[in-house]
Structures are given as structure tokens and as C-alpha cells.
A and B are shown apart, each in its own frame.
Chain A
Amino acid sequence: MSNMLGFRTLLMKEVLRFWKVSFQTVAAPVVTALLYLLIFSHVLDEHVQVYGQIRYTAFLIPGLVMMSVLQNSFANSSSSLIQSKVTGSLVFVLLPPISYLEFFAAYVLAAAARGVVVGVGVLSVTVWFAPPGMVAPLWVLTFAVLGGAIMGALGVVAGIWAEKFDQLAGFQNFLILPLTMLSGVFYSIHSLPPFWQQVSHFNPVFYMIDGFRYGFFGVSDVAPQVSLAVVSIAFAIVTVFTLASCSVATNSGTEPHDAPQNHRRPSA
């Protein structure tokens, strides 16, 4: 037994939520990515070539697109959850007959949707500076959706565990931002000293970006099949962990307070 309509409604509501404020959720990150591109291509385009023949600006564009996909996917599910937790409106989603899996799938898909929308936005304003081409669009789409879904799931976990906005900001600034920035968005890891090359291989985000970039150039630091395997395993692990978090959160529940409104102590 499942509640397909419940799932679809929640997915639609989550998409509408960011779409209704798209100036902030879509336009703003597109501008940010554009600024990165303008600055880095100005400084580096004439000095750096990657994989021997690719202009730095062309190399940078897919990296920026994927970084925007990942960061915005995380931001979507995590901020939606923390907002509705702090305001208390999460109760509207918790009262209906919606399973953890339907809940999870709706938030993750909406997060990936925001990521892809922002990604398309970033690509469409940056592509004119140095068209990178796209030799394998299916790889591009696969990594964008899968990467967005992983980050969306991590956003669900962060949204469940965080009780306040600053805890979420900590998660974002000290985990998500370093993982995405140090994953090869701005450089090929072959340019790194051997030790840091090794370290980069332990960062799952590296595989998301590397695989995504393969779809544009047909060359990458590791084979796209390897990246796909790593990213798929990461998705499976994050899924299991997120579903477990949902269950633990329901088990503990939130200690209710009569007053003051909207103030909640951490549960368990």
C-alpha cells in the first residue's frame, strides 16, 4: 500500500516552495557562479590549460555548474526542513499517512530539481564565455541528478538533526562547502601534489564533479564508470542513513511545550 498522491503532492509543494522565491533560490546562486567565472577566468585563463588542450575557462564551467547543483540541492531540503521545524509547520507533513520513504523521496527529488534548475541557469549564463561542448549528455544528466539527490538526502539528515539555523549553517560551512570547493571544481586533481591527490580520492564529491565533467569533455581524472559506481554507493549509504534518521526522530519525538510558542528543546 502506498500513498502516491501524497508523495506527489509533497514533491509539488517542495518544488513550489523554492519556485515561489526563485529570485533568492535560483537567480542568486546563478549570479554567484557567474562572479566566480568572471574572476577566475580573468586571472587564470591565459596561464592554465587542463588535460593539455582544454582552456581553463571551459574546464571551470562544468565545475561551477556542478558545484551549484550540489550546494543548492543541499540548501533546498535542509532549509525547507529547518524552516518548517522552527515554525512548527512540519506537523502538516507529519500528520498525514505519508511513509518515511515517500517523505524522503519527495524531499530528495525536489532538492535535485532545484539543483538541476540552478545548474541549467548557471550553464546558460556561463556557456558563452568558452563553450565547453557536451560529448555525452547522458553522463551529464546522470551525475547532476544523482549528485543533487545525494546532497538533497544529506540536507534531509541535516534538517532533521539541526534544531536551530546556526547548527545548519555549521553543517553547511564546515562540511558541505569544503567538500564541494576541494573536489576539483577549480582544478584538475592531477595538478595536486601526490598526497593531496590521494586525499581527494576519499571525497565522494570529487567523483560527482569528475564524472559530470567527463560528460562535457570526454576526459576526466578517473573513468566515469568508476565515478558512477562510487556515487551510486554513496547514494545508497546516504539513503539508508537518512531513512534511519527519520525513524529515530519519530521515536524520540519532540518534547512539547505549552509556552513559549515555537521554542523547542533538542529531542533526546
Chain B
Amino acid sequence: MGVAVSIQQVEKRFGALRALDGVSLEIAEGEFFGLLGPNGAGKTTLISCLAGLARPDTGKLTVLGRDVVVDYRDARRLLGVVPQELVFDPFFTVRETLRIQSGYFGIRNNDAWIDEILANLDLADKADTNMRRLSGGMKRRVLVAQALVHRPPVIVLDEPTAGVDVELRQGLWQFIRRLNGEGHTIILTTHYLEEAETLCGRIAMLQRGKVVALDSTQNLLHEFSRHTLSLRLVGGAALPPALAALSSGQVEGAWQLRLPDFSAVEQVLATLREAGIAIDDMRLSPPDLEEAFVRVMQRGRAQQ
């Protein structure tokens, strides 16, 4: 597998603000890659630099080996970007919009592919509707369609599901997953960490323009999150002192214990039995990316 996207030591300043402060990343062909971070972390700036919407002050970005500044025509043909903001051109219908976008990429007679995209995005019956008359979710899907007209091998989705209802979100992910399965490289930014957790094989977390974590989703979960054992004790009993180290406090009367591994469950139960404390309710939840995210951000803040 070759390198789909290479980002080397990229810096970008807006006045005094360092939006990107030496970002380096490599994304392999065929990856489903997540780019996470709080608002203002630099995700969109990084995508802008990759897409040629902004030029980095220093550093180098390539798409499938093509430099996005020197070789911008090739780089842009290889890249499809779904922008974050819900933008549209009010003068045209859906089909006109997609034909125009095809033309911009130097592609004529693209209707067969356009029809296929429209069918997959459930937009076929809206092809001749003016953009103004579409709902927000439909406009969002047209943005996805616009990013795909030139069959780009690398697709960037900048918060594609913001404001999209559950059903459409499912449909959208099914389609994106299929594209990924067919070999497209997908780069995703999102604030929905559950989505990132289920979709992305590898994740980079950005904070104040720096990469603060870069690893496979599994490793990040393993390193920064734990199984959580939620225990409600009979009679609202206090936790035995031996378990205090695992506890992260109470939520609605239930103790939250963070477990390093499954064998810890046995120890917890044994300790409770010895102390003569009975369990009223018990629940075990797996590690989640939200916890990992919060911990990485806390660590990042502590280091700065």
C-alpha cells in the first residue's frame, strides 16, 4: 500500500495565531482515517492546506505523491473534499450543479456516473430540483456528490454528518464505507466520537495546531480508556477502601470503577464479598473514544 496523503512539518499562522504548529502525518492508501480535535484545533485549516484553499507557511503536503502547491492540478484531481459549511449555488439544479462541477475537473459527458452517485445518495428524484429548495440533509448529500464527480481516490469529509438525521447518516456511512471498501482512502473529521470509533481504523488528535495523539483506534482506546464497571450497592453502602483507587466517583448513586483488564472484575467481586457488601445492580461498559479523547486533551493541556 502506498502513501495516500503525506503531511510534513506543516505550519500555518493567521496573524499571531498558530493554526498549525508543525503537523506531520502519513495516511496510507485505503485507510479510513479520523482527524479529531476540539474547535479551533486546526483540523479545517489542515484540510484547507491539503485542498489548496490555503497555502502553508512552511512544510509540504502531497496527495498520492503529488505536491499540492507545485503539482496542484494533479493533486486536486486525486482529492475530493466535502466542505464543512453547508454551501450551495442557488442558481442551479442538482444535476446542473454536478455537471458544472464535472466540467471544472475537465470531465465531459459524466451523466452515467452522476446518476450512479445520485442513486447511491438517494437523490435521484431531486436531480432537477433547484438547490434552494432542498432540505439541509439533501444539500449535505449534494456536497458529498460534488466531491465525488471526478472519482477521486482520496476523499476528505469535514464534519459531514453535522445536522443530518439518523437515517440519512446511516445511509451516508454505508455509501462511504462502500467507497472505502472499493479502495478509496477516506479522511474524516467529526465531533461525533462514536462515529469515529466505529468507522476509523486510525486516528490523529489535534490540539492547538499540534498532533497530540496518532495511533490505531484500538491502541488509543487501550491506552487512554478503560472498561468501566458501574456498581450500585445494596443500601447505598460505601466502597471498601481497597477499591478506592479504581473509583472515579459516583454517577446517580452507582460507583464507577475503571478496570485495567477483565481479571480486575474478579478482584472487585471478591473484595466486595469479603466486606459483606451485596450488589444491587452491575454494568460493564467497554472503553470508548470519548474518554480517550478527553484524556488525550487533558494530557495535552498539562504538557503546554
Chain B residues, CB < 8 A from A250: 52-55
Q: How large is the interface on A (under 10, 10 to 19, 20 to 34, 35 or more residues)?
A: 35 or more
Per CB-CB distance, the 9 closest pairs between chain A and chain B, nearest first, are A253-B54, A9-B103, A96-B104, A97-B73, A88-B87, A256-B44, A258-B39, A255-B14, A97-B76
| CB closest residue in chain B, given A251 | B55
Would you list which residues of chain B between 1 and 47 have a CB under 8 Å from chain A? Answer: 12, 14-15, 17, 19, 39-40, 44-45
**Structural contact, B106 and A5, CB atoms closer than 8 A:** yes
| CB closest residue in chain B, given A18 | B91
A6-B106, A99-B73, A258-B39 known; 12 new pairs, CB 8 Å cut-off, are A5-B103, A10-B103, A12-B103, A16-B92, A91-B53, A91-B81, A92-B89, A95-B51, A96-B150, A97-B105, A251-B55, A254-B54
**B146 in the interface, Cβ–Cβ < 8 Å?**
yes
**A261 in the interface, Cβ–Cβ < 8 Å?**
yes
Chain A residues, CB < 8 A from B89: 84, 89, 92
Shortest CB distance A2–B (Å): 9
Task: Give Cα A76–Cα B15 distance, bound, in whole angstroms.
Answer: 32
Shortest CB distance B138–A (Å): 16
**Structural contact, A92 and B105, CB atoms closer than 8 A:** no
**Structural contact, A5 and B108, CB atoms closer than 8 A:** yes
**A8 in the interface, Cβ–Cβ < 8 Å?**
yes
Shortest CB distance A79–B (Å): 12
Contact string, B186-204, partner A, CB cutoff 8 A, digits 1/0? Answer: 0000000000000000000
| B contact residues, total (Cβ < 8 Å) | 43
| CB closest residue in chain B, given A1 | B73
Chain A residues, CB < 8 A from B108: 5
Would you list which residues of chain B between 58 and 93 have a CB under 8 Å from chain A? Answer: 72-74, 76-77, 79, 81, 83-92
Given known A88-B83, A95-B51, A261-B85, contact A3–B106 (CB-CB < 8 A): yes
Chain B residues, CB < 8 A from A258: 39-40, 44, 84
**B213 in the interface, Cβ–Cβ < 8 Å?**
no
Choose from A1, A5, A92, A261 the contact partner of B86 (Cβ within 8 Å).
A261
Shortest CB distance A16–B (Å): 7
Would you list which residues of chain A between 1 and 44 have a CB under 8 Å from chain B? Answer: 1, 3-6, 8-10, 12-13, 16-17, 20-21
